[in-house]
Structure 1
Amino acid sequence: MEEIYFRKGSSTKISGIIKSFWQIDNKESISIVREKIIPDGYPELIFHYGDYYKTNINGVWQTQGLYLIAGQIKNHFFLENTGESKIFGIKFQPWGLSELFKIEMSGLTDKVIEIPDKVLDTLKPVKEISVGSLSFDEKVTKIENWFIEFFSDLDLKSFKGQKAVELIIENKGKAELKNIQSEVGISERSLERYFKSKIGLSPKYYSRIIRFSHIFKLVQSNETDWSDIIFITGYYDQSHFIKNFKEFTGEDPSIYSFFEKNLANFFLKK
């Protein structure tokens, strides 16, 4: 049986960089499972302490490394375990990895790659905690403390572009970008440049992902019908909604299994 643990960052000192922590721990039986991963708008660091995984992002299956960095993805992809699943993950705010490690995020779009050696050297204490034998909550507490100390030596600034990202998320991807630019005081060109470097997607595409991900939270509430969901999430009409849903998931919303226990549903509802 596979158990999935999740916890939002509990320290306000790191909430501007780290969104949440998660862990998959395979118990008892081991079976090969193919999972679909759907865009949610947040990059991650992933530490495997079980067997390797395989991914299919661009039509080719590849075996992953054990210590990974995942950038923004534009469409769904597939992954498959090769044996025992034991994974610890850190989900960052959209700008988090770029701010911490000066990573050009456009180079990570639609990629899950091994953590660069220089970054992994810096993260050695985090890696050792992540793959160790502590409980999930103990790992999170120790890693939070490490990042708090790490942050104290960094000059982390809040840019206008970051505020724009926050407003997109706050408005569930529905706000007009021109209105956000006006509120933040940033030009269209500067916003595009910020998103390319710090996020890895255009502002428009990122807004689409955030709006799309809100669907899952509404469906989970079980109090809203489809016509209300289409209206609340700001789609023009049903055909527009279905077209976007199929682009991100590869499936029609009428047949998608929203309540199936899988990784895509777990992360999109968190």
Structure 2
Amino acid sequence: MDKIYTLKKASPKLLRIIKSFWLVDYQEDIALRKEKIIPDGYPELIFHLGDPYKININGVWQQQSQYLIAGQIKNCFFLENTGKSKMFAIKFQPWALTELLDIKMKTLTDKVIEIPQKLLVTLQPIKEVAMSSLSFDEKIKHIENWFLKFISRQNIKRFNGRNAVELIIKNKGRLSLKEIQNKVGISERSLERYFEMYIGLSPKFYIRIIRFSYIFQLTQKGCIDWAEVAFLSGFYDQSHFIKNFKEFTGEEPNKYKFSEKNMANLFLKK
């Protein structure tokens, strides 16, 4: 079976809004396959070009719609195809959906839902390109051009909260809240308010997700020394590292299949 997992970074002129684009295509009808999705700290718009998927976030399986918006997820969840599998998606910067579309991200925490009709009207040109027969690169080109025009018509204000998020990501989640507040010049309360509206998670929890995601980059260097990985990813000790990893993945790190070709590894590995 020929599986295609493709991820492409957004162009520099759009990186402040879009992190990347991705495509998953199994290229033929396949048997039911369950995929584990792990939190990575970025919201998405997802378009199913094949048959719909079923999703299980809170212990109940539900069939997904064709056009989806995904908020911040706190724990791993599962997807299962119902037939032919093909998806195209846009992975946004953590703050982007609020800045661009005035979405209160707290309402999307732990949710992957059908794009609301009012929002779908705004995003109609994006939907048409995403669902078209254009190549992956051609879709990206058209969508980026649309977003450049869309942004030019917006009055987007930059808040200190975004500076804090960028600092967390840049430092792989290895800064304390107090260090972040001091470097950015923002009060604890203002930071909490920003994260509630623009990110959908508390600053402390978001730091944990970004610090956790760095583990996947460290494992690509070859032979894995878990004590070294724990230290480099900012954990006080190996037991704390294992507990955190298991909380987000449901598995211990030495049992997780880092080399397997799946959606979770596509998003978390560089």
TM-score normalised per structure 2? 0.97
**Contact 2:173 2:207 (8 Å CA) reproduced:** yes
Q: State the match for 1:257 in structure 2.
A: 257
Matched residue SS, 1:258? coil
Name the % identity: 65
Q: State the match for 2:197 in structure 1.
A: 197
1:155 aligns with 2:155: yes
Q: State the match for 2:246 in structure 1.
A: 246
Q: State the match for 1:173 in structure 2.
A: 173
**How many positions carry a matched residue from both structures?**
269
Which residue type is aligned with residue 141 of structure 1?
Answer: K
Matched residue SS, 1:181? helix
TM-score normalised per structure 1? 0.97
Which residue type is aligned with residue 163 of structure 1?
Answer: N
Residues 41-190 of structure 1 aligned to structure 2 (within 5 Å): 41-190=41-190
1:8 aligns with 2:12: no
Pairwise CA distance, 1:30: 1.9
C-alpha distance in 2 between matches for 1:255 and 1:23: 27
C-alpha change, 1:29 and 1:66, in structure 2 (3 Å) is: closer
C-alpha distance in 2 between matches for 1:83 and 1:71: 25
Show structure 1 runs of 5+ residues with no match: none
Pairwise CA distance, 1:254: 1.3
Pairwise CA distance, 1:176: 1.3
Show structure 2 runs of 5+ residues with no match: none
Pairwise CA distance, 1:226: 1.3
Pairwise CA distance, 1:223: 5.6
C-alpha distance in 1 between matches for 2:212 and 2:75: 12
Which residue type is aligned with residue 41 of structure 1?
Answer: G
Matched residue SS, 2:174? coil
Matched residue SS, 2:259? coil
C-alpha distance in 1 between matches for 2:135 and 2:48: 15
Which residue type is aligned with residue 9 of structure 1?
Answer: A
CA deviation string 1:200-231 (max 9, x = no partner): 00000000000000000100122652111111
Pairwise CA distance, 1:61: 0.2
Matched residue SS, 1:39? coil
User: Which deviates more, 151-160 or 198-207?
Assistant: 151-160
Pairwise CA distance, 1:13: 2.6
Q: State the match for 1:233 in structure 2.
A: 233
CA deviation string 1:229-267 (max 9, x = no partner): 111011111110010011000001111111111111111
**Contact 2:7 2:266 (8 Å CA) reproduced:** no
Matched residue SS, 1:13? helix
Pairwise CA distance, 1:31: 2.2
